[in-house]
A and B are shown apart, each in its own frame.
Chain A
Amino acid sequence: MNNNEKHIHEPLFHITKRADIVWWKAWLVRLVAIVAALFVCAVVIVTITDYNPLQVYKTMFEGSFGSERKVWILLQNLAMLLCISLAVTPAFKMKFWNLGAEGQVLIGGLASAACMFYVKDSMPNWLLIIVMLVASLLGGVIWGLIPAFFKANWGTNESLFTLMMNYVAIQLVSFFIMVWVPSGSSVMGVINQASGSGWMPDLFGKKYLFNILIVAVLTVVMFIYLKFSKQGYEISVVGESENTARYIGINVKKVIIRTMIISGAVCGLAGFLLVSGTNHTISKELAGGMGFTAIMVSWLAKFNPIIMVITSFLIVFLQRGAGEIATAFRLNESVADILTGIIIFFIIGCEFFINYQINKRSKQKEAK
């Protein structure tokens, strides 16, 4: 028997799950990953272009921090991405794969735009904004509720359902633009450009400050809700195991529906902010893929709203940098996208080394 044991071949290395990792070690791994990513990017930059990588990184940085305006754009974009990420988070925590944020945001935006288009200035601005907000929240809720209702009652697959609801939302937006713009250009243009009714007011002369503050408050509220409230706890339990949840007396159906109402409502809020506070128009591209990027933001932050500030900052920072590089070096934005891809790859990849440990074949055993 002993002989046999000796012959068992031990691989060069094997992987075990880490029980826990000290916080600074985890961040050290992430830092190393970013440095490694920048190094690989530098190699790519030198190989395919003649530019100095340091110059490229500097330009990338300037894309977000080059001027006061750029900082505000960064903050605004960050707020919107964060808002949608906050929206999908409770659903994800419950393991309800809400891939329909894009559509929920669109419907929210459409509701706001409809109010702006029909009401025009026949109502005081503050009242119109409240009406728009309510309409957007309702729109988002309905779009989130439909798949939740089916999931809770008949166990339908929510990923497919929410995904398909996106297309319905896109078509609805196209339809309404066609109705509102009979020339057929399918461009809505700025709504109420002259009167500005339904536009979120500037705060201290800053266009996007309202958006940013609302999302900042929302982030804290969502953090507290998920971490400290009873409902937040129920979400975690349902996410871990529906049977456990049922066993301890949680009404799973109710939790699913309630959580998707919250998820949809926050998406609706994002739609409202995008229409009333940012673009003042509606188009199919309103959410611009943020509904999907938000999934990454949420996962990378392990569903922690506060960490999501950092992860959404990272994504927006890279996007803004990519655009800046394209203009400054006359490179196609695809080049910048390659760099963004490399950086995100490393950042996601390093989570592996945080969660798992690589054990080398020990020499002692070999000697035995």
Chain B
Amino acid sequence: MKKITAMLLCLAMLFAFAGCGSKDTSSDGSDAKVVTIDEVEKTVPAKMEKVEKANFKIGLICLHDENSTYDNNFIQALKAAQAELGLKDDQVLIKTNIEESSACYEAAAQLADDGCNVIFADSFGHESFMIQAAQEYPDVQFCHATGTKAQTAKVANFHNAFAAIYEGRYLAGVAAGMKLNEMIEKGTITADKAVIGYVGAFNYAEVVSGMTSFFLGARSVCKSATMKVTYTNSWFDIAKEKEAALNLINSGCVLISQHADSEGAPKACEEKGVPNVAYNISTISMGPNTALISSKIDWAPYFKKIINAALEGGTIESDYCGTMAEGYVALTELNTKVAAAGTQEKLDEVKQKLMKGEIKVFDTDTFTVDGKKLESYTADIVDNGDFVPDSEAIKDGAFAESSDRSAPYFDIKYIDGISE
């Protein structure tokens, strides 16, 4: 027993001591001046050496495999780009099930050893390991989806990319709103019962931005829509996502959407006969009677862009945000069996308006936070690891999502109408 007491005492000391350390750093942090995204010194991307097509190789690192809708989206896009550019299978190396640990660094380094000119990783947690590999292989380009550091990391051969997916989410929301309207018109629900359920992976900007734009899209056509959110705290968990969707349905949600990567929620919706709006891939095969539509980032244009940059000896932007006009943001096939009449026409119309800038997704006239219009909001755009909001995000009467950094930074929890 003496020994145990001694050990516990040691541990207590350790934590006390660790606590002191933390106080020191926080006081350091408050002294430092907050640098905005306009003031920060940006990374200058490396100029690539021209590569012969026959000698070119690209590597893709995926967190999961084809069974995850998220990773499958990348794999299919790369295969499409491969087919279009006429690359052979041994020029396109795909590594699946790579954890967000040193396994990612090792996978990237192996791909570099195998002669890859460009290496792409698809998961947020891969970022610091990709930077580690990028520093070790300065002649190889490392690209990373959803990351936040490339603009400011000053590693010339490390690049971030994402797309203005909030526009796609908004469009998918419009389809959902029309479905809600149909339910109200048919009398299956009353207007005040138009509650959307949303299964989110993490309470994190990328998810919050997606759900808010989806909700704003739905509410642009169905004024009485509200939304309830649940988090699974995992990007891929079939059981949890299914359970979360079922709970939302049981608590009165009449339409479900999700930002999590398994088939859990779409299948739960099919079981219960509740319409579902998905993400990344079309889920019509999983729910022929309930899958409405999906929004997705089409990564094929980006893959083509970076492959061509390597073949021509160009540069890859440190931080690139693909747009709807360039084909980065897409909607999958509309399931006419589920969709309300006139949905396709409405989607085409709204899409045109979004592309022309006539509609802004996060127009501050269309939503309130705590009952008030949002006049100013400081978002954490410069990722220097401090998690301190640094830059103004409201520009020209709208939250300027993804304009200063491709990875989403709309993290307002929540606008009125959305609740947990």
Binds A, one of B106-114, B176-184, B317-325: B106-114
Judging by beta carbons under 8 Å apart, are B21 and A323 in contact? no
Q: A69-B106, A138-B10, A142-B11 are in contact. Are A182 and B387 (CB under 8 A)?
A: yes
Chain A residue at minimum C-beta to C-beta distance from B59: A327
Judging by beta carbons under 8 Å apart, are A323 and B95 in contact? yes
Closest chain B CB from A326 CB (angstroms): 6
Q: A142-B7, A280-B102, A323-B95 are in contact. Are A193 and B132 (CB under 8 A)?
A: yes
Q: Chain A residues near B10 (CB, 8 Å)?
A: 134, 138
Tell me the chain B residues, 172-203 only, with Cβ under 8 Å from chain A: 202-203
Closest chain A CB from B27 CB (angstroms): 12
- The tally of residues in B whose CB lies under 8 Å from a CB in A reads 46
A139 to B10, CA, bound (A): 11
Size class of the contact patch on chain A: 35 or more
Is there a chain B Cβ closer than 8 Å to A190's Cβ?
yes
Closest chain B CB from A327 CB (angstroms): 5
Judging by beta carbons under 8 Å apart, are A69 and B113 in contact? yes
Judging by beta carbons under 8 Å apart, are B100 and A333 in contact? no
Is there a chain B Cβ closer than 8 Å to A120's Cβ?
yes
Q: Chain A residues near B233 (CB, 8 Å)?
A: 174, 186
Is there a chain B Cβ closer than 8 Å to A2's Cβ?
no
Is there a chain A Cβ closer than 8 Å to B4's Cβ?
yes
Chain B residue at minimum C-beta to C-beta distance from A286: B101
A288 to B97, CA, bound (A): 12
**A67, A122, A141, A193, most chain B CB atoms within 10 A:** A193
Q: Chain B residues near A122 (CB, 8 Å)?
A: 21, 24
Judging by beta carbons under 8 Å apart, are B204 and A278 in contact? no
Judging by beta carbons under 8 Å apart, are A114 and B96 in contact? no
Judging by beta carbons under 8 Å apart, are A323 and B97 in contact? yes
Q: Chain A residues near B94 (CB, 8 Å)?
A: 327, 330
Binds A, one of B122-130, B214-222, B263-271, B299-307: B122-130
A285 to B18, CA, bound (A): 24
A94 to B97, CA, bound (A): 36
Closest chain B CB from A273 CB (angstroms): 12
**B65, B110, B132, most chain A CB atoms within 10 A:** B110
Tell me the chain A residues, 326-364 only, with Cβ under 8 Å from chain B: 326-327, 330, 332-334
Q: Chain B residues near A283 (CB, 8 Å)?
A: 99-101, 125
Judging by beta carbons under 8 Å apart, are A285 and B99 in contact? yes
Tell me the chain A residues, 59-118 only, with Cβ under 8 Å from chain B: 67, 69-70, 73, 114-115, 118
A131 to B22, CA, bound (A): 16
Judging by beta carbons under 8 Å apart, are B110 and A67 in contact? yes
A334 to B11, CA, bound (A): 43
Choose one: B11, B96, B99, B110; the contact of A70 (CB below 8 Å).
B110
A187 to B128, CA, bound (A): 10
Q: A138-B11, A184-B204 are in contact. Are A118 and B18 (CB under 8 A)?
A: yes
Judging by beta carbons under 8 Å apart, are A332 and B66 in contact? yes
Judging by beta carbons under 8 Å apart, are A279 and B89 in contact? no
**B8, B101, B127, most chain A CB atoms within 10 A:** B101
Interface string of B84-120 (1 = CB under 8 A from A): 0000010001111101111000100110010000000
Interface string of B1-31 (1 = CB under 8 A from A): 0001001101100100011011011000000
Closest chain B CB from A340 CB (angstroms): 13
Judging by beta carbons under 8 Å apart, are B205 and A184 in contact? yes
Q: Chain B residues near A334 (CB, 8 Å)?
A: 65
Is there a chain A Cβ closer than 8 Å to B131's Cβ?
yes
Q: A187-B100, A193-B132, A288-B99 are in contact. Are A330 and B89 (CB under 8 A)?
A: yes
Judging by beta carbons under 8 Å apart, are B7 and A138 in contact? yes
A279 to B102, CA, bound (A): 5
Q: Chain B residues near A190 (CB, 8 Å)?
A: 128-129, 131-132
Closest chain A CB from B342 CB (angstroms): 38
Choose one: B8, B66, B131, B204; the contact of A183 (CB below 8 Å).
B204
Is there a chain B Cβ closer than 8 Å to A38's Cβ?
no
Judging by beta carbons under 8 Å apart, are A278 and B110 in contact? no
Choose one: A115, A138, A184; the contact of B203 (CB below 8 Å).
A184
Chain A residue at minimum C-beta to C-beta distance from B98: A323
Q: Chain A residues near B99 (CB, 8 Å)?
A: 283, 285, 288
Judging by beta carbons under 8 Å apart, are A186 and B204 in contact? yes
Is there a chain B Cβ closer than 8 Å to A256's Cβ?
no
Is there a chain B Cβ closer than 8 Å to A281's Cβ?
yes
**B10, B14, B66, most chain A CB atoms within 10 A:** B14
A142 to B6, CA, bound (A): 12
19 A-B pairs with C-beta separation under 8 A: A67-B110, A69-B109, A73-B110, A114-B18, A115-B18, A138-B7, A141-B7, A183-B387, A184-B204, A185-B124, A190-B132, A279-B101, A279-B102, A283-B99, A285-B99, A288-B101, A323-B95, A327-B93, A330-B89
Residues of chain A having any CB pair with chain B under 8 Å: 67, 69-70, 73, 114-115, 118-120, 122, 131, 134-135, 138-139, 141-142, 145, 174, 181-187, 189-190, 193, 278-281, 283, 285-286, 288, 323, 326-327, 330, 332-334
Given pairs A183-B387, A186-B233, 4 additional interface contacts (CB within 8 A): A73-B106, A118-B22, A183-B380, A278-B102
